[in-house]
């Protein structure tokens, strides 16, 4: 995966993102992989990943508000909250699980819908927007990034985590590396940087981390 951390341009106002064709149904999105819900080593590895992402933010100060896009059951917020006790964690999602996460106190606020459709309502609210393994699943990455820009406060930070199809592991294993993404072409780290530059983001840091065992092979193992 490549983590990209970028600030919103203070001078340029956020532009409304086109929402045409973005109201796809929840069942069209890939379901959570069953391995991610298991306890044991998988949960430990996931918690370690979240801690790494949170540490990447602390160099820029502790945010007051964080929006987790496609938050699901709020698993990210549950791990991150003890590390950022003064940060409000909100989430978006298409399914009922995001509302259950709010009812259970895992999320402070929950919003049903896609980010481009919610951008007007949430404009200028957040210090951090997290697009974590979500950008490659949406039908229009440009609209998704433009919507993220719109909901950020001036000087806010966008955290993008995405598998890089240009990495050696993906080149070696092909679709076995990321079987859940096979239906959509995945943007490379370089193409994401180009999209961000086109939206007047400044890239502050790019972190290429070691690849993990592919999910399919991990399940077989």
Q: Give per-residue pLDDT as tens, 88-102.
A: 999 999 989 999 999
* Domains annotated on the chain, with CATH: 2-220 (3.40.50.150)
pLDDT per residue over 132-156, tens digit each?
877 877 889 999 999 999 999 999 9
Token pair 């001078």 is found at 11
Residue of 162, 163, 134, 165 lying closest to 147 (CA atoms): 134
Lowest mean pLDDT among 63-67, 135-139, 153-157, 201-205: 135-139
Residues 6+ apart with CB under 8 A from 101: 71, 72, 73, 74, 77, 91, 107, 110
pTM: 0.74
The pLDDT of residue 213 is: 54
- Residues above pLDDT 70, as percent of the chain: 64
Q: Tell me which DSSP letter residue 200 carries.
A: T
The mean pLDDT of 50-77, rounded to a whole number, is: 91
The mean pLDDT of 41-65, rounded to a whole number, is: 83
Residue of 212, 218, 219, 220 lying closest to 1 (CA atoms): 212
Cα–Cα distance measured from residue 51 to residue 87, given in angstroms and rounded to the nearest whole number: 15
The pLDDT of residue 34 is: 42
């Amino acid at each position: 995966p490549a983590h990209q951390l970028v600030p919103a341009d203070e001078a340029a106002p956020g532009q409304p993102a086109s929402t045409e064709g973005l109201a796809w149904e929840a069942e069209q999105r890939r379901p959570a992989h069953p391995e991610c819900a298991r306890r044991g080593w998988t949960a430990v590895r996931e918690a370690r990943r979240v801690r790494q992402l949170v540490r990447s933010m602390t160099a820029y100060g502790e945010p007051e508000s964080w929006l987790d896009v496609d938050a699901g059951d709020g698993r990210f917020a549950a791990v991150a909250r003890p590390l950022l006790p003064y940060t409000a964690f909100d989430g978006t999602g298409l399914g009922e699980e995001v509302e259950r996460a709010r009812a259970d106190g895992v999320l402070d606020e929950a919003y049903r819908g896609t980010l481009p459709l919610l951008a007007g309502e949430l404009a200028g609210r957040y210090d951090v927007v997290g697009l974590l393994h979500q950008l490659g699943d949406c039908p229009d990455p440009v609209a998704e990034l433009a919507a993220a820009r719109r909901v950020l406060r001036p000087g806010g930070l966008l955290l993008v985590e995405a598998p890089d199809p240009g990495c050696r592991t993906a080149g070696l294993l092909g679709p076995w590396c990321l079987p859940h993404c096979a239906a959509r072409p995945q943007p490379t780290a370089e193409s994401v940087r180009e999209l961000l530059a086109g939206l007047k983001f400044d890239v502050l840091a790019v972190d290429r981390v070691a690849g993990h065992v592919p999910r399919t092979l991990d399940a077989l193992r």
